[in-house]
Structure formats: structure tokens, C-alpha cells
Amino acid sequence: MALNYVWIAFFVLGCIVALYRLIFLGDTEIFGKMVTGSFADAKTAAEIAIGLTGTMTFWLGIMKIGEKAGMIERLARFVNPLFSKLFPGIPKGNPAMGSIVMNFSANALGLDNAATPMGLKAMKELQEINPEKDTASDAQIMFLVLNTAGITLIPLSVMAVRLSMGAANPADIFIPTMIGTFISFVSGIIAVAAVQRINLFRLPILIFFGAVAGLVAIMYALRDALPAGTLANVTATVGGLLIFAVILAFLLVGTRKKINVYDAFIEGAKEGFTTAVMIIPYLVGILVAIGVFRVTGCLDFVNSGIGALVAAMGMNTDFVPALPVGIMKTFSGGGARGLMVAVMEQYGADSFQGKMACILQGSTETTFYVLAVYFGSVNIKKTRYALACGLVADVVGVIAAICIGYLFFYHT
């Protein structure tokens, strides 16, 4: 129900702001822009879904091979000590565990094209053990919130944009982004755990947090050991190598077990195609609503209000020009990326505002998009508290990114 009211609010607030612009600002073109934008966003949503079709078809085919070869089950057993604490409703050894960890791994490596199909596969497997098919289960909510607040160890796309825009060291936002996304991830876990009454002070969970902190330290050392600008290429190579190694392992193990891997691939690929088509209505609905909210200037009003409030409190407002990136990222990854580029073009890639925009882009996630696509793929209508917990992680992530940006890059 929460998403229903939010969806309505996008249109209502957009119309109110559009009327204000028409009556008080004399903007006679605003409603025409809203209509044109709605058509364009509906087209974009369909194009996104169609663009996902090939990726979904391929990856769910590969996942089906891994499932029949027993690799997903092995992975599920491996992560069970940790995931059984975070997802107590998932039976031991269930293949959803393996799909979840593969989704998290792809997200952490910045491999979005692989992460989405794996995530939708995990959501489908969680739906199979969901007793109420139209209502999100506790496990599905935990998975979705952690997906929207997932750790991005390697912000490849952000570093690539910084490199193309002439940043002196494109990887200088690497560690700040890792810290910001880790804080967002932990806040998402805490938010859901508080509602589901999950005890986080368990040894496997504490070991996991410690391992991530250690990995941050290792990445920091790696950053200092490599020449400026090369980290993005190195991490892209490592990520691609790991993913291809998984594909090859699935194929070889499947062959050794005398499985017809091609037939298994086609079986999974058909599921991928069906899923990609199924999410089109959900994508159209959420992206058109977000487009109305954006075109009418609602985000500008929100940003101006926050800037005025911060100034009234006597605090530094140098971060405000980059703030729209963090706000927009909750709604649209592509829109946030465009705003990030615009900030760097105006202030410079190596400016405080430019670096802040990059940290905000890498530390937050597209909550509304993920909510619509993941729940839509399994026809979940009652999302319960998933949106609220996801937004908690987003807000904490934005605040953390701002604080980290000042800590690392602000010089008075």
C-alpha cells in the first residue's frame, strides 16, 4: 500500500507545482512538458525492459545450469552460517541463498548487468517459499532493502565518468564511496532487523562486518599502490574475470555431471525472457510518475528548501549543488548520473562539489526502481514496510556521503 500512495503523490504534487508555475510564474509550457515527458518516460521504461531481455535471458540460462549442476546449492550451504541469521525464514540449503549471494557479489563488483538478473532469480525463488503470494515476506523485504542499500566495493561507472571528464585521480572517490555505501548497507540491515526482531549481535554477522572493514583497508592500500587513473581498469578486469570464471565453472561442472548444459540454458533463458516482459508495466508506472515529479521542478523545490534550512542553521552549504544527485538517485539511476555529470561540468571534476556528487552517486541506490521491478516480477502487491526501510537506508546513505565528502575533500 505504501507504494500505491507514493505513486499517487508523485502525480498530485507534480500537478500542484505545475499549477503554481503556470499561475504565479507564467510558465505556459509546463503542462505540455509534463505530457511530452510522460510519453518519453513510458518509452524509456519499455526500452529499459527490452534492453534487459537479452541480459535476463542469458544470465537466467546460466543460473539454471548452475542450479542443475548443484553449484547454487553448494554456494547456499557455504553462506548459510551468515544468511541463516539475516534470513531466518529461508530453509537451510534453499537455492535462494546462492542466488542472493551471487546478486550481492555482482552488485559489490559494480556489475549491474549481471546483478539484476541474479536478483530477480533470487526474488522468484523467495516467492516460491512465500506463503502469502501477494504479500512481501520477511525474507523478500530483507533482500530488497539490502539490494537497495547494497555495498558497492568498486564504483566502476563513477570512476569511468570521472576519468572521461579529466579528473586528476578518478579513483580518489573510491574509499569515500565504499565507506558511504557500507554505512547505508548497515543502516538497511538495522532498519529491517529492528522490525523483524533479528539479533545482529551474532558471531557470523560480526565476522562479516569485520571482513568488509578489512576489505576496505585492503582496497585503500591497493589504491595507493596503483598509479592514478589505473584502478578503474584493474578492478573492471578483476570483476569481469570473476564473473566469467563463474560461467565457466557452471559449464564444466554441469558437463562433468553429464547434464545437457545447452538444454538447461534454454530452459532458464525462457524464464528470463518471460520475466523481462512481465516487468514492463511496473517500470512504465514508476518511471512516468517519477518523470512528472522531476519535470515539474519538485526536486528543485525540495533542494532549495533543504539549502535554506541548512543555511538558517548556520551550517556550510557548499554541498547543496551536489545534493540533487543523492535525491534523484532514489528515483532514477540515469537521472542521477546526468545530474552528476552536470555538477562536474559546472564546478569541475576535481572540485569539492564534483567529488561530492560522485560520492552521492556511488553511495545510494534506486529504491523506487528496485522496489517496482523486483516486487513486480513476482506480482507482490502488498510491500509492507519495505519502502520505509529502503528510504531509511537512502537517507542515512546521503547524510553519510555528505559527511564523508567534507571529511575527505573539503578544504577551507
Q: Where are the domains of the chain?
A: 2-409
Q: Looking at per-residue confidence, does 217 or 126 come out higher?
A: 126
Tens of pLDDT along 281-309?
888 888 888 888 888 988 888 888 888 99
pLDDT at 162 over 90: no
Q: For residue 132, what pLDDT band results from cuts at 50, 70 and 90?
A: very high
Mean pLDDT of 340-357: 91
pLDDT for the residue numbered 238: 65
Distances (CA, A) of 297 to 48, 99, 350, 351: 24, 39, 28, 26
pLDDT for the residue numbered 134: 92
pLDDT at 1 over 60: no
Mean pLDDT of 248-276: 90
SS3 of the chain: helix, strand, coil, percent, to 5: 80, 0, 20
CA 54 to CA 328: how far, in whole Å?
Answer: 27
Single out the residue of 5, 27, 6, 9 nearest to residue 18, CA to CA: 27
Q: Looking at per-residue confidence, does 21 or 49 come out higher?
A: 21
pLDDT for the residue numbered 233: 60
Q: For residue 125, what pLDDT band results from cuts at 50, 70 and 90?
A: very high
End-to-end CA distance of the chain: 47
Residues 6+ away with beta carbon under 8 Å from 352:
318, 319, 405, 409, 410, 411
pLDDT at 23 over 90: yes
pLDDT for the residue numbered 11: 93
Beta bridge partners of 135: 382
pLDDT at 260 over 70: yes
pLDDT for the residue numbered 236: 57
Whether the Cβ atoms of residue 79 and residue 101 lie closer than 8 Å to each other: yes
pLDDT for the residue numbered 223: 59
pLDDT at 229 over 60: no
Buried-exposed string 362-394: b where 16+ CB fall within 10 A, e elsewhere:
bbbbbbbbbbbbbbbbbebeebbbbbebbbbbb
> Per mean pLDDT, which of 117-121, 244-248, 378-382 is the most reliable?
378-382
pLDDT at 262 over 60: yes
pLDDT for the residue numbered 54: 82
Single out the residue of 130, 153, 144 nearest to residue 188, CA to CA: 144
Three-class SS of residue 135? Answer: strand
pLDDT for the residue numbered 322: 93
CA 233 to CA 216: how far, in whole Å?
Answer: 18
pLDDT for the residue numbered 93: 76
Task: Please write down the long-range contacts of 95-101, taking CB distance under 8 Å and 24 or more positions apart.
Answer: 95/67, 95/125, 96/122, 96/125, 96/126, 96/128, 96/129, 96/139, 98/66, 98/71, 98/72, 98/73, 98/74, 99/63, 99/72, 99/125, 100/143, 101/75, 101/76
pLDDT for the residue numbered 109: 65
CA 343 to CA 336: how far, in whole Å?
Answer: 11
Rounded to two decimals, what is the model's pTM?
A: 0.82
pLDDT for the residue numbered 369: 84
The burial of 71, by beta-carbon neighbours within 10 Å (0-12 exposed, 13-18 middle, 19 or more buried), is given as buried
> Per mean pLDDT, which of 127-131, 218-222, 301-305 is the most reliable?
127-131
Identity of the residue numbered 314: G
pLDDT for the residue numbered 335: 75
CA 270 to CA 211: how far, in whole Å?
Answer: 38
Mean pLDDT of 6-24: 91
pLDDT at 263 over 60: yes
pLDDT for the residue numbered 140: 96
Distances (CA, A) of 191 to 331, 366, 385, 388: 20, 18, 10, 9
pLDDT for the residue numbered 149: 74
% of the chain residues with pLDDT over 70: 91
Mean pLDDT of 224-238: 58
pLDDT at 348 over 70: yes
With cell 540515469, the residue in question is 334
Q: Looking at per-residue confidence, does 369 or 17 come out higher?
A: 17
Cell numbers that stand for 323 in this block: 545534493
